[in-house]
Structure 1
């Protein structure tokens, strides 16, 4: 599936993921902890879509790899935030939380493979 995915499919997927993260954040309680986690997950969960757009306009192969690595870093940060939210019981809608968790994990895998491929191709 990853090999068949084009850059527009991935961009759309990242945008859908960002929108789902925003919806998930809206479910967090209006408490100091809920608001902290809300800000954290919105920043890291929307960043990959924005940074992926920058990667598409990269000035060099190294710049592309760097920007893709930023996307991966933010996806990993979001993944940990989702785990914290899940384990702390801040959200009762576990279906939405699980959907974001699964998609986040798949996106991490896609970016790991894409970065590996870009690095391999950059050495040629």
Structure 2
């Protein structure tokens, strides 16, 4: 539910990313059949991929742990997501896997990396746009 909230929030900045010639791409870890509902729930119009094997997450050294689900920020952001209507109906991927924000390109140039420390910890949009 927190992931959906984050993507819905990022969708509001789509024009800002586009103006900077940046393309948002979402990579989740749930089964592919969840993509349609995820898109509908978040309003995200861009590219969505999924990697249930978690190989992408491993190669980017993104955190995966039970402890990352129970921090103060996780609880706070979970309540915020629920209050905004993003309720957890079923687990749609590896809930222990944390995400991040990576800005690459043009070409293979890595401009920005943010690794979430816990559920609800997200890259500040201002930092991403400054990428």
TM superposition score normalised by structure 1:
0.24
> Which of the two has greater strand per residue?
2
Say which one has the larger Rg: 1
